[in-house]
Structure 1
Amino acid sequence: MSHTLGFIGLGVMGGSMCANLTRKSSKPVHVFDMSADAVAKAVEAGAIAEASIDALAQRADIVFLSLPSIVQVEAVCASLRDARGKVRTIVDMSTSDVARTRALAASLAADGIDYVDAPVARTAEAAIKGTLLIMTGASAQAYASLEPLLACMGSDLLHCGGVGAGQTVKILNNMMVFMTVNALAEILTIGRRAGLDGKTLFDMLSKGSADSFALRNHGMKSLVPDTYPEKIFPMAYAIKDAALALTLAKEAGFEPHIAQHTYDIMCEARDAGFAQNYHPAMVRVVDGRIAADKQADKQADKHVDTRASHPHA
C-alpha cells in the first residue's frame, strides 16, 4: 500500500498512537495539532509537521483522527473536505455519537471520501505499547485495507460491522467500565465501614470470581489509594461517553437504571469540582464525602452570614 498518512489530534492517546503508526507503518505520516509541544513530540518520532488541516489534506490520502468528541470530528472533517486535497479515507479513532457518525459517513461518501469509525479501548500505557483494543465499523473491504495500519497501534482488532458499529461497541464498553467502578466504590465503602482495609479487600476479591480488569486497574491503582490525577480519562470525558450510552438506550426504547444512576453520580462529582480528575473519583459521592463537604460549606456560610448580620457579636 503506497499511501501517505495523516494524523490529527495528538493528545494523551493520539500522540502515542501516532508515534506507533509512524514507527511501524514505514509510511510518511503528516500531523497537525493545536499544541506545538504535541507536534514536536510527533516530529521526534519521525512524523512530518503541517501548519494547518488544509496543508495536511494536500499531502495525506488516509487521515486518522483522535479528538475529544463528534463536535470536533465533524469540524475537522468539514475542513478536510473543503480543502479538496488528496484525502480519500478518514478514520475516526475518537469515541463519537453513533447517529452523527453514520450521518457524517453518508455526507462524506457524496464527495468520494470513505469514513471509518475505529475507537480504541484500554489505557494510555497500552497506547504507548501499541496494545490497544480497536473496534472498527466499516465495510469488509475498507477494514481489510486498513487492518495493517490499525495493527501498528493495537494488538486486538475487531471488525464490529458497518459504519457506527465500532462506536456502539466502544460506548457500551466504556459504560460497563463506569458501572463497574461505581459497584467497586460501593463495595469499598461497605468494606471499610465494616472494618476492612481496602487494599486487603480488593486483593482478596482479585483472587476469586469477583476479579476484573476494573478491579485491578481502577480499583487497586486509584480507589484504594484514593488518588485521582488529572489527564487520565477525566470525569468530563466519562460523562460524555455515558451520555452517548444513554442516548443509545433511549433510541432503542430502553430505560437503564444502573447506567443512569452511574451517570448521575459522575455528574455530581463533576459539579463538586472533579471534572478533570480521573473518573473513579465518583467514589467521593458514593461514600458520602462530597455530601459531607457540601454540608460543611453550608454550615460555614451560615456562620459567616450570622456574623455579618451581628457585626458586634
Structure 2
Amino acid sequence: MSALGELSRLKKGAKGERTQNKAAFVFLAPWLLGLLAITIGPMLISLYLSFTDYNLIQSPNWIGLDNFTRMLHDTRLMNSLRVTFTYVIVGVPLQLGLALFIAMVLDRGMRGLAFYRSVFYLPSLLGASVAVAILWKQMFGTTGLVNQVLALVGIQGPGWISNPSTALGSIILLHVWTFGSPMIIFLAGLRQIPVMYYEAAEVDGANKWQRFWKITMPLLSPIVFFNLVLQIIGAFQSFTQAFIVSGGTGGPADSTMFFTLYLYQKGFGQFDMGYASAMAWVLLLMVGALTAINFFASRFWVFYDD
C-alpha cells in the first residue's frame, strides 16, 4: 500500500506541475507573440529587404550587396556618420560628467533631497519628446530666450540653430541637459560606497581629489561602465531632437544630419526601403561592435569589489 500511495502521490505531483507549466505558457503567450510580431518578425523582414530594391509599391527586387556597396560612395551618409559620432563622442562624456557631479553634490545629504532629485530627473523624462525639442528650437532661435538674455549684457547672439557651426552644439547641449537618468544611477552607486574608506583615507592625509580618484572612481567604475554603455546606445538612436530642431532636413548644411535622420529620409522620404533597411543593420552592427569593445575594455578599468 505504501508503494501504491507513493506512486499515486508522484502522479498527482507531475499532473500539478504540468498544470503550472501550462498556466505559465498562457501568461507568457502575449509577450512571446509581441516578441515575434513586433521585434523578431520585423527584424527578419528588414534583413531580407536590406538585400533588395524596394520602394513600398513594387515587389522587392533582390540585388544582393548593392545597398551596402552604395554606402561606401554615399557622401551624405558619410557626413551623417561624422555628425553622429561627434554627437556621441562629445555629448555622452559631458552628460555623464555632469550627472556624476550633480550626484556627488546630492550625496552630501542636503535638505529637500527628494525634491532636487525629482527636478533633476525630470529632463530625462522629457528630453526626447517633441515638445521639449520644439521648446529648445525656440530658445536657441535668432530671437529666442538665449539671445534675449545675451542682449541684456550687450552681446548680439547668432542664430544658434540656423548656424552650421553651432547647430550641432545646440543639440549636444540638449543631450547633456537630460542627465537625470544616469544621475539617479550614480547617486544609488555612491550610496553603496562604505563611509569607512573615506574616513581611513582622511586619517592618512588624503585630500578630496585623492579620495575621489583612489576610492570613489574605482568603486563606482561598474556604475560608470553601465551608464556609459546605455548612454552610447541611446545616443546612436537619437532622432527626435535632430528631426524637430532641423525641421526634418538635417540642416543647416547637413550639420545636424544624424544617421537615424538620414535613414528616415531614405526610407520614408525617398521610399528607398531597401537602402534604409541596410542602413538600419549597419547601425545595429556599429552599436553592437562598440558595445563589445566597451565590454572588452572594461577588463582594464572596471573594478568589482567582492
Q: TM-score, normalised by structure 1?
A: 0.22
Return the structure number with greater strand share: 1
**TM-score of the superposed pair, with normalisation by structure 2:** 0.22
Larger Rg: 2
Higher relative contact order, chain-length normalized (CA < 8 Å, sep 6+): 2
